[in-house]
């Protein structure tokens, strides 16, 4: 992902590219600000609802693309609080339990995914970002071979389910 800054956000001087801590980075020659470009953490929820897994389609995604519910953390939130909040905001479900599946790189978006298995209850009502959902039997899940799909695959393997990845390219986490 190319750098998002041309000017220093602190003093507005034009940035220069130079090596800092083993990598070429955009740096401010005047106040020494460095654009570290660190990945942002994202929480993802593999929602188990009445024995099936809820996959949802974001309004910006192609018609057949369904995925886990994801979102950024708010300041002062723990990842577990964030995942329960995202589940509530996007599906109206209450989180009964949230257990870490794992932590995964998603380099295409410069993110790190913290994925939880969420057991949820209540009545599904989709939030603004989502347009459609499906409830899939765990054995019929087909993960994509990156991002949250890797979390889904690990969750399936932990249950002894065979994993058959979807062919590339899925165009999103």
Write down the least CB distance from residue 36 to Zn ion, Å. Answer: 14
CA-nearest of 45, 47, 28, 25 to 36 is: 25
According to DSSP, the residues that pair with 3 across neighbouring strands are none
CB of 13 to Zn ion, least distance (A): 5
Of the candidate residues 1, 3, 4, 11, the single one contacting Zn ion (CB under 5 A): 11
Member of 8, 54, 55, 114 binding Zn ion (CB under 5 A):
8
Site residues for Zn ion, 19-58, by CB under 5 A, read: 28, 30-31, 33
Q: Which range, of 4-12, 35-43, 115-123, 152-160, touches Zn ion by CB under 5 A?
A: 4-12
Closest contact distance (angstroms) between CB of 15 and Zn ion is 8
Number of residues that bind Zn ion (CB under 5 A): 8
Piece of the chain touching Zn ion by CB under 5 A; list 5-13, 54-62, 84-92, 160-168: 5-13
Residues 75-94 that bind Zn ion (CB under 5 A): none
- In SS3 terms, the chain reads as CCCCCCECCCCCCECEEEEECCEEEEECCCCCCEECCCCEEEEEEEEEECCEEEEEEECCCCCCCCECEEEECCCCCCHHHHHHHHHHHHHCCEEEEEEEEEEEEEHHHCEEEEEEEEEEECCCCCCCCEEEEEEECHHHCCCCCCCHHHHHHHHHHHCCCCCCCCCCCCCCC
Minimum CB separation of residue 2 from Zn ion in Å reads 20
Nearest approach, Cβ of residue 8 and Zn ion (Å): 3
Q: Contact positions toward Zn ion, by CB under 5 A?
A: 8, 10-11, 13, 28, 30-31, 33
């Amino acid at each position: 992902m190319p750098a998002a800054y041309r000017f220093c956000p602190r003093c507005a001087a034009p940035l220069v590219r130079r090596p800092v801590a083993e990598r070429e980075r955009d740096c401010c020659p005047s106040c020494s600000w460095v654009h570290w470009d660190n990945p942002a953490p994202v929480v993802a929820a593999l929602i188990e609802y009445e024995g099936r897994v809820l996959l949802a389609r974001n309004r910006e995604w192609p018609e057949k693309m369904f995925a886990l519910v994801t979102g950024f953390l708010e300041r002062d939130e723990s990842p577990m609080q964030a995942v329960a909040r995202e589940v509530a905001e996007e599906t109206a479900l209450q989180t009964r339990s949230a257990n870490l599946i794992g932590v995964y790189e998603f380099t295409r978006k410069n993110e790190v995914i913290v994925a939880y298995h969420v057991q949820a209850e209540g009545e599904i009502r989709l939030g603004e970002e989502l347009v459609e959902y499906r409830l899939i039997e765990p054995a019929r899940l087909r993960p994509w071979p990156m991002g949250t799909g890797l979390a889904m695959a690990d969750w399936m393997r932990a249950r002894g389910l065979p994993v058959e990845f979807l062919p590339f390219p899925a165009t999103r986490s």
